[in-house]
Amino acid sequence: MTATTSTEIDFALRPAASPLPAEERERLLADPGFGQVFTDHMVTIRWSEDRGWHGGRLEAYGPFTLDPATAVFHYAQEVFEGLKAYRQASGPIVAFRPQANAARFNRSAVRMAMPELPEAAFVRAIDLLVTQDREWVPFEEGHSLYLRPFMIATNRGLGVNKPSPTYLFTLIASPAASYFGGGLRPVSVWLSREYTRAAPGGTGAAKTGGNYAAAFAAQLQALAGGCDQVVWLDAVEHRWVEEMGGMNLFFVYGSGSGARVMTPALTGTLLPGITRDSLLTLAPELGIPASEGRISVDEWRAGCESGEITEVFACGTAAVVTPVGTIRGSSGSWTVGDGTPGPVTMRLREELVGIQYGHLADQHGWIHKII
Ligand SMILES: *Cc1c(COP(=O)(O)O)cnc(C)c1O
């Protein structure tokens, strides 16, 4: 069976001969954790210099066989995305702003000298996989089906004088409970002065695996320092706050009707989060002025000590909106507010989650109905 798309990439539908029995699936869905459990199927699409995108397939989830000399293993030419499908209370299964992920996927691809995938094909892959594996979309509110599209360089050979002439796009899906586990516990963060995540002209704005590979050493230091996550500072002055692990940061100034939020501006070294962008739109609609700016570590600390900064939170698809409680660095540690989730953090979280789960109207065309 073949399903033709408007982008002229054909998808052959080859459902798994033996999907997981319903009872097994229910058992896994009861406590899926994050990124541990995968659905029965995946979508793959190939690209080559002479044929462009071709050979789209929905097939059983399973391992790849790749030559040890495949380019991605050696030179990390790879990009990925992360978004979620939600089961709304009234029945439909939806994705949140998948076109925005498709566009960012292509910006990442261009930075890594990889081919762009037509946005319609990216969204079509999501529609096909989620429709096929709809039984895997959790019913529990707060749970979701995490979608992980990615692309790797598949050329065989160790030459580095030009990028790979062949690529493989794949989409996999993983039912997910909340990312950090244990409800909305504020996270503690480690200010990394020894390592930097991204430098001007580098790959900080691209969602590419190498950024994460380079971050693990700092994450280990954070854990050793008793913290949950790393906060990255700019590479030039080691002073300006950029982002946290795989999430963007927001600072709340003032309180009550005088509260406003600020997030570090996209300087080219930050990852432009879709959650960040959504909150910059939603906050003013709730009467909370929002701006992009910059804040130094010293200003962060002084602001918390004077009470001017009342809340800090991180945001991203995986963990939605997560309060930051304690900050630790080489020059000591401090706490934001009283260390518990603040009202602006909770209000913004509730608004975003309300739209995603269909409790609140979607006034921005962000909800993409899958089935
Ligand atoms: C994915 C990611 C984010 C968050 O982006 P969202 O689109 O909101 O999920 C932030 N920082 C980094 C480094 C990321 O990889």
Taking the CA of residue 243 as reference, the ligand 1 atom at the shortest distance is: 11
Q: Of 123, 153, 176, which one is at a domain's C-terminal end?
A: 176
CA of 207 to the centre of ligand 1 (A): 8
Query: Using 50, 70 and 90 to split pLDDT, how confident is the model at 331?
Result: confident
CB of 322 closer than 8 Å to CB of 340: no
Based on the domain organization, do 129 and 237 belong to the same domain? no
Take atom 2 of ligand 1 and give the residue whose Cα is closest: 246
Q: Which residue's CA is minimally distant from atom 14 of ligand 1?
A: 246
Closest CA to 64 of 157, 172, 159: 172
In a domain, 45, yes or no: yes
Q: How many domains does the chain have?
A: 2
| Residue 240 in domain | yes
Q: 117 in a domain, yes or no?
A: yes
Q: Tell me if 252 is assigned to some domain.
A: yes
Distance, CA of 295 to chain centre: 23
Distance CA(88)–CA(339), nearest Å, equals: 32
Q: Ligand 1 centre and the CA of 316: distance in Å?
A: 5
Confidence band for 180, pLDDT divided at 50, 70 and 90: low
Task: Supply the pLDDT for residue 6.
Answer: 45
Exposure string over 277-295, b if 16+ CB within 10 A, otherwise e: bbbbebbeeeebebeeeeb
Residues in a beta bridge with 197:
none
- Atom from ligand 1 closest to the CA of residue 83: 9
pLDDT in tens, 95-112: 999 999 999 999 999 999
Which residue is closest in CA terms to ligand 1's atom 13? 246
**Is the residue at 182 inside a domain?**
no
Distance CA 46, CA 53 (A): 6
224-243 per-position pLDDT tens digit: 999 999 999 999 999 999 99
Q: Is residue 181 part of a domain?
A: no
Count of helix runs (H) and strand runs (E) in the chain:
9, 19
199 in the same domain as 132: no
Q: How far is the CA of 314 from the centre of ligand 1 (A)?
A: 10
The dihedral built from the CA positions of residue 128, 134, 140 and 143, taken in this order, carries a sign that is negative
Ligand 1 mutation target, pool 247, 250, 279, most atoms within 8 A of CB: 247
Q: Whose CA is nearest to atom 10 of ligand 1?
A: 247
The whole-number pLDDT of residue 179 equals 67
Taking the alpha carbons at both ends of the chain, their separation in whole angstroms is 20
Q: What is the CB neighbour count within 10 angstroms for residue 301?
A: 18
pLDDT in tens, 210-220: 999 999 999 99
Confidence of residue 183 (pLDDT cuts 50, 70, 90): low
pLDDT in tens, 289-324: 999 999 999 999 999 999 999 999 999 999 899 999
Q: Which alpha helices (H) appear in the chain, and where do they start and end?
A: 22-30, 71-75, 98-111, 119-132, 209-213, 216-224, 274-285, 297-306, 343-356
| Residue 264: inside a domain | yes
Determine the distance separating the centroid of ligand 1 and the alpha carbon of 140, expressed in angstroms: 24
Task: From 176, 207, 224, give the residue that closes a domain.
Answer: 176
Taking only the tens place, the pLDDT of each residue in 123-171 is 999 999 999 999 999 999 889 999 999 999 999 999 988 999 999 999 9
> pLDDT per residue over 1-51, tens digit each?
444 444 579 999 999 999 999 999 999 999 999 999 999 999 999 999 999
Q: Ligand 1 centre and the CA of 16: distance in Å?
A: 32
Nearest atom (ligand 1) to Cα of 315: 8
Q: How far is the CA of 24 from the centre of ligand 1 (A)?
A: 32
CATH number at residue 208: 3.20.10.10
Average pLDDT over residues 178-185: 70
Q: Are residues 209 and 91 in the same domain?
A: no
- Pocket of ligand 1 from Cβ distances under 6 Å: 82, 207, 243, 246-248, 271, 273-276, 316-317
Q: Please write the tens of the pLDDT for every residue from 256-291.
A: 999 999 999 999 999 999 999 999 999 999 999 999
Q: What is the CATH number of the domain that holds 129?
A: 3.30.470.10
- Residue 141's domain comprises 2-176
What is the average per-residue pLDDT within 78-101?
97
54, two tokens: 């071709």
Cα of 8 vs centre of ligand 1, distance in Å, is: 30
Instruction: Tell which one of 80, 107, 248 to mutate to probe ligand 1, the residue whose CB is within 8 A of the most ligand atoms.
Output: 248
Q: How far is the CA of 317 from the centre of ligand 1 (A)?
A: 7
Q: Name the domain boundary from 176, 209, 231.
A: 176
